[in-house]
Structure 1
């Protein structure tokens, strides 16, 4: 019987990984490049990188990332390389196998050799900036990666489990068993996954809606805290871009230049599909049916190393593929393959070129390459243009199939028929209403009212629900007239919670139907607090605490009702609040949830009358530390996104603390006005520094909480007049 993996020890000892030494010549070359770069940190600690060439700007970008987030930068490399288990142990073996199934170092090196010369220079500078940081900071010991190679940045297109509608559990089950046995393996339909929805808000206002008669852009990503850096890159090759990169990447993902700005909310209109393959085994070989014929299943061997004690062991897997892609699971006795796009080089190039776009036509031509997966685009520019494209790389599919779940892999009727042109996907360019918005929501309300023309697009282009954040955005944007930057900031922090207004009245109605029930007499006080609530979050509001905690309890109940296996499109539309419901619940069940909230509050605080600011806190701690009620913290007005809070703020409860502390939500937020002179205000979670002893560790906390943004320094004269430190890499 063929085994999927073998286990054997590797003759290495875990501990300090011997660095690949750099030659004196290499070090001298890196030092020479570093001398060409000037880094200016302003009075907020924001780095501005000035260089002659784009490549040197990339060097400076990666050096600065390492200054604040070296461990996280290294972690991104380890994850991409599929080597997490060498650091974290056996539990990460299947995460590594997943990554290596889609790209490995051999493939990445091939891509590097195929990369255009201009882009290869940026890849070289990417590696050089990180390597120089390690050389100039020998006390900062890497966990695993002692030398970065330029091809590593091209490992940038690995799909996630969740966004591929696959669970790690399924993938693990398939590759931890014999393939023959797996043919009869059935998905455990009781296995559920529930993860809190992330997201983003992107708005663009036309000149007709602003006081200065200039277009404006709101960049408001919601993500895990401290995974972004605010930075400004300037080169004499036409680069002048400000914004936030993902750590470990050298492009500014959400940002702006002196002509235009771009925002990328997450979309479910993606380019990853599952195929159900009919597989047969004969003479020890696997084949699959396609158009009435049998085709051989391809296979390859992948060895994954993992740490166990002081040893480095390994498992070798046989990974299977059809022409659709790698086998990732088995359901209903059929192997499931995942089809995705492999546009690593093009993706890297598009993200860089849009940073340097100087006209609407140039920007549109760049994104017209259609290689971005899972991202919408909100755009504004100096000429007054605003735009919104829903998705980017969208394959042409047979609309009669349900693409949320595996489609029949045995017929060419399910093959992609090329990709939709940019003009074919849902989009708005300079709409008459004067604004566009996307809050991880359907494009049908992207310009306010329901768009009947857009609704005729194929269903696979429209999987996103109408999130309560989008409802809130439409309500506010319809009111904005003669808007200033501060007006947009105020609107983006509006405390109204649409899903509270939607669901709390049903809870009150449930109580009114049981006034004499002895079980619920203890709810009379809480219900009265909710009756008096205006559904606006406030740190002094007890009703906010009750309402938020009660609505949060609805989410896992709704997830549990979804068809199994759960599709991400359906799961996300529940966890982001779009498709929440109480219709399946009896009045008594709704009241019992409120009783649970009351009992939890009494257990922690001795009373149910807990103001929102007492339980909803911000605390910045050193990496590796744990939240604690004994450390300084701040009350936060913002609420979780599923309630419809535009100012999204999600918290975590830890055993040793009564309060809940923020971990996800607004990160780098910016509002930009594109006039003859660019104006912008931004805020960053906590502050620009990761050093607890730095004044920039918490100097933006109050502004972050209260919606009081800082004015940025964009022009070099202003940067130098507000310089706190000027240096070169290595100094």
Structure 2
């Protein structure tokens, strides 16, 4: 009898375990909020692909074109688009595990869905039609390709889902992840007072910046949904026809983004019968172009890092359920959310708490309760503004759209057919009350410190047609952008804006080369864009001087590296014997300088680079191109450039068995745009891989790579006649 009951109990326990395992493998799709399709309407679009597989999307209406953008992008990279859709539904952890769960936590913490629900109805009708058209294109592709879907019940999606992606991702381009990461981990809030302008000391790089308790020695890992500040990124150049030798207005877009993933560029050309005609690039999940040109004007972006985040220390009551504001106690909003986190075949439900106060999202940690506000909080207005910028016809119209609702962040460099060039240090700057140190944690019991408005556009640093005839930005201060005699005076800008004062090696090189080059024609601009030089100042000088001062007599291998670096010619063109060693040694110093963290140990960085090169190459002076590589499938090509050169090879995959360092972030989508006087716009572009970055079977998986490594461009086919002359394939896609 006992044996029978023991056997029954054993089988019962086994059944319980099996049921539990099945539940962990299947619960998430069943519990997920079901998707809702947009209102049904017919869509029809023609997609023509050129010799490089770039889609040219034509439709009767703008909504048709948005539908076609989604379809074409899904043909080339449905894998990544699904990740972005999962982010907009708070389900990315079910795909990407713990890393995805961080984004899902941010989705709930920032109330991305609530922001959309509060403001979606106020979006213009044409914007909502565009969002629904894009969602319909994704839904149709998913319905026709069910075998490619990697998460059940992810589709259908609608315009609100697409808008939620903007509410979630935009704040991370100006570093909100740093604040969230520090607060979640119970660390001090990282502050960025910023290094001084060139020629003055750099206290924040050398000694670290202050914060509420202590300077964190390790930056919290960034959420992988914005441009990672640790990697730096992006150059932009605008050249007036009066500075050129041929009367041509030029704009160079040179964004530095990851080469795969949710913020990798996708090139496209669009045209509707409603007047939308633009060439350029967009991110996964965008139903319009983020940068590029139409017939009359164009713009590009670089990441800027103004102080757009304010943190408040809340005063809680005894049981932590209320916070004090203006002498009264208010309920502290609290919500339990369940994050799906994949571990192998299982998806575990992990509970997390999110809090909210009148200030904004709040986090409770071992140090107390902290709320924060950020530029663009509780707004999706930028969705419509970006779309309308695509259709602007002249500078006055473009400027009016930019002034309507400041986009949360990013610099804009502009040029047009009329010969205008402009630079706007754009951001949704909070209108802060004077008299407080807004770079430190603020008292959370005063409502007068909860700002509600953005600073007026005319108070934000900007340039229009400077006397120098050029403008540039390489993630540096806006007070160095137009050359001697044309740069803005920093004292004319309010310190309450928190405008960065940083310089990068790229900005130092760009400023030096542009000022010394006259005229600046196409050839000269190409040379500047692909420059691989370093200036011997800032972190470059500090690191090399520190290595030169080391006593390495007892470590002959490091002494040999020290001697080789002393002979370096300060370029990363791949021609000098010290290029590989120098680029590797400077990588960590560049990252820490950019992020205002204490410098690395110079001997450790030297040893790390020397030992890596010796182990994998048998020498410390291999050619740079043998070390840093462009790799995509079977394509394996040598690269040049460094982490902070105008030819950016910013960061590498360091786990390659052969010790080579494949680039994962740097020069990405590059576009040269030209308006000849009285003539039609023309442009050239290039990407590291091709149009179909996650389709190994596609001929466009890496077909642009040989051009990219050779500093060459391909043509952009913009007019209907040019598109027709270079058409390789055509398809018509309709719905329903």
Q: Same fold (TM over 0.5)?
A: yes
- Change in Cα spacing, 1:553 to 1:245, as seen in structure 2 (3 Å) is closer
Equivalent residue, structure 2, for 1:669: 670
> Following superposition of structure 1 onto structure 2, how do residues 392-403 of structure 1 map, counting pairs within 5 Å?
392-403=427-438
Q: For the Cα contact (< 8 Å) 1:270–1:393, is it kept in 2?
A: no
Work out which of the residue numbers 39, 44, 59 in structure 1 matches 2:47. Answer: 39
2: distance between equivalents of 1:486 and 1:294? Answer: 66
Runs of 4+ in 1 over 6 A off after TM superposition: 8-12, 18-23, 185-188, 308-311
Partner of 1:610: 622
How far residue 448 of structure 1 moved from its aligned partner, in angstroms, is: 1.8
Cα–Cα, structure 1 residues 553 and 105, in superposed 2: closer, same or farther, change >3 Å?
Answer: closer
The change in CA–CA distance for 1:422 and 1:707 in structure 2 (over 3 A counts) is same
Of residues 535-544 and 710-719 in structure 1, the stretch that sits farther from structure 2 once superposed is 535-544
**Counterpart secondary structure, 1:207:** coil
1:246-645 → structure 2 map (5 Å cutoff) = 246-269=283-306, 271-281=308-318, 284=319, 286-307=321-342, 314-330=349-365, 332-342=367-377, 344-416=379-451, 418-449=453-484, 451=487, 453-459=489-495, 460-498=497-535, 503=540, 507=544, 511=548, 518-519=553-554, 521-523=556-558, 525-554=560-589, 559=592, 572-574=594-596, 590=602, 593-621=605-633, 632-641=635-644, 644-645=645-646
> Where does residue 198 of structure 2 map in the other structure?
none
Distance 1:240 1:452, change over 3 A: closer
Q: Is the Cα–Cα contact under 8 Å of residues 307 and 499 in structure 2 kept in the other structure?
A: no
Displacement, 1:371?
A: 3.2
CA distance in 1, matches of 2:637, 2:98: 39
Residues 716 and 270 from structure 1, CA distance in 2 versus in 1: closer, same or farther, beyond 3 angstroms?
farther
Quick one: distance in 2 between partners of 1:90 and 1:596? 29
Q: Distance in 1 between matches of 2:133 and 2:50?
A: 24
CA gap of 1:73–1:541, structure 2 versus 1, over 3 A, is same
Report deviation, 1:57: 0.6
The 1:146–1:172 alpha-carbon spacing in structure 2 relative to 1, beyond 3 Å, is: farther
1:705 to 687, 706, 709: 709
For residues 698 and 409 of structure 1, the distance between their equivalents in structure 2, rounded to whole angstroms, comes to 52
- Post-superposition offset of 1:464: 4.1
- Larger displacement relative to structure 2 (504-513 or 702-711): 504-513
Alpha-carbon displacement from aligned partner over 1:391-445 (angstroms, at most 9, x marks no partner): 2311122354443442222234533262211111011111111111111110110
Which of 255, 262, 273 does residue 221 from structure 1 map onto?
A: 255
Structure 2 residue corresponding to 1:103, chosen from 98, 108, 111:
111
Deviation, 1:480, is 3.3
Deviates more, 1:62-71 or 1:297-306: 297-306
- Distance across 2 between alignment mates of 1:590 and 1:187: 24
CA-CA distance at 1:645 after TM superposition: 3.8
Q: Would the alpha carbon gap of residues 512 and 78 (structure 1) be closer, same or farther in structure 2, given more than 3 Å must change? A: closer
Give the secondary-structure state (helix, strand or coil) at the position aligned to 1:220.
strand
Distance 1:594 1:139, change over 3 A: closer
696-705 vs 399-408, which moves further: 399-408
Unaligned segments of structure 1, at least 5 residues: 1-7, 175-184, 560-570, 583-588, 622-630
Whether the 8 Å contact between 1:133 and 1:730 is mirrored in structure 2 is no
The answer to whether the 8 Å contact 1:273/1:340 transfers is: no
Choose which of 666, 679, 692 in structure 2 pairs with 1:689. 692
CA deviation vs aligned residue, 1:249-276 (integer Å, no higher than 9, x gap): 1121111111111112111125332112
Q: Give the drift of 1:346.
A: 1.3
2:167 corresponding residue in structure 1? 157
Q: Gapped runs of 5+ residues in structure 2? A: 1-19, 188-211, 222-228
Distance of 2:371 and 2:60 partners within structure 1: 50
Q: Alpha-carbon deviations, 1:6-28, whole Å to 9, x = none?
A: xx9996852995899999x999x
Q: Which moved more, 1:98-107 or 1:227-236?
A: 98-107
Match of 2:655 in 1: 654
Once the two structures are superposed, what CA deviation does each residue of 1:323-365 show, in whole Å capped at 9, x if it has no partner? 1011124474343434453454411100000000001110000
Cα RMSD over matched residues? 3.4
**Which range moves more in the overlay, 477-486 or 489-498?**
477-486
Q: State the distance in 2 between where 1:273 and 1:260 align.
A: 35
Give a deviation string over 1:261-307, Cα, whole Å, max 9, x none.
111211112533211212222xx462223334433323344344455
The normalised TM-score by structure 1 is 0.83
